[in-house]
Amino acid sequence: MNRAAPSADIGGLLGRLVEAKIVPVIRTSAATTAEQAVDALADAGFDVFEITMTIADAPALIESLAARPGVLVGAGTVTSEQDAERCLSAGARFVVSPCVVPAVVAPCHAAGVPVLLGALTPTEVLAARAAGADAVKIFPVSSAGGPAHVSALRSIFPGVPLVPTGGIRAEQVLEYLDAGAAFIGMGGRLVDERLILAGRSGEITALGKSLRASLGLPAG
């Protein structure tokens, strides 16, 4: 086992993610549309964002967003120690991997930043925690039974913060939280790049406001 007690910084940052309830996962074809997506969701009241490393020059975008007052930005789809270090240097305040990559844990914990490692099965959840994950991303949850899968994992790992991500629909958010999710990652179902390219970013803002209202969160 490679689990140290979380530092105050890690615990506080993880607490902010839990309070957010929904973390938008920004995965677009270009940094320009990613920034537009962030703007649209900021108008809805969101202030926590995950920027995936699949976006070209993602660390530069993370650095730009991290400079915004009140915004908490993290890095997603991080699969190497080197990428973790680049994102941390850019200002990422949480790091997410879609799988169990033990090498990303040490640099993050050294920086006081929480790590979410990805898993789907009980064996993978256990491996993620053994590697040092502060929370476990359950991905892709929609292909594994949805809220029922989260509930089943929660029953055998009651002390592990579980973060379902992948294909979650707006109408399922409360169901996932009721199933025991610590918080939820929402990607394409919340951030539809086609709307941005069509000049319809307002529809993303409207959906974001509706989701936040359903959770009792203030809108922008």
What band does 7 get if pLDDT is binned at 50, 70 and 90?
A: low
- What is the three-class DSSP state of 152? helix
pLDDT digits (tens, 9 = 90+) for 100-155: 999 999 999 999 999 999 999 999 999 999 999 999 999 999 999 999 999 999 99
pTM of the model: 0.95
Query: With pLDDT > 90 as the criterion, what percentage of the chain qualifies?
Result: 95
In a domain, 17, yes or no: yes
Confirm whether 3 is domain-assigned. Answer: no
pLDDT per position as a tens digit, 167-185: 999 999 999 999 999 999 9
55 within a domain of the structure (yes/no): yes
Question: Which residue's structure tokens are 């029922």?
Answer: 148
- The reply to whether 1 falls in a domain is no
Q: Which of 10, 97, 100, 13 lies closest to 54, judged by CA?
A: 97
Number of domains making up the chain: 1
- Domain span at residue 138 reads 8-212
* CATH number for the domain harbouring residue 58: 3.20.20.70
In-domain check, residue 220 = no
**CA nearest neighbour of 102 among 85, 82, 120, 80:** 80
Query: Is residue 24 one of the residues assigned to a domain?
Result: yes
Residues belonging to the active site: 50, 137
Decide if pLDDT at 2 tops 80. no
Distance between CA atoms of 108 and 88, rounded to whole angstroms? 7
pLDDT at position 220 is 78
Handedness of CA 139, 186, 190, 179 (dihedral sign): positive
Specify if 218 maps to a domain: no
Q: Is the residue at 138 inside a domain? A: yes
pLDDT reported for residue 4? 47
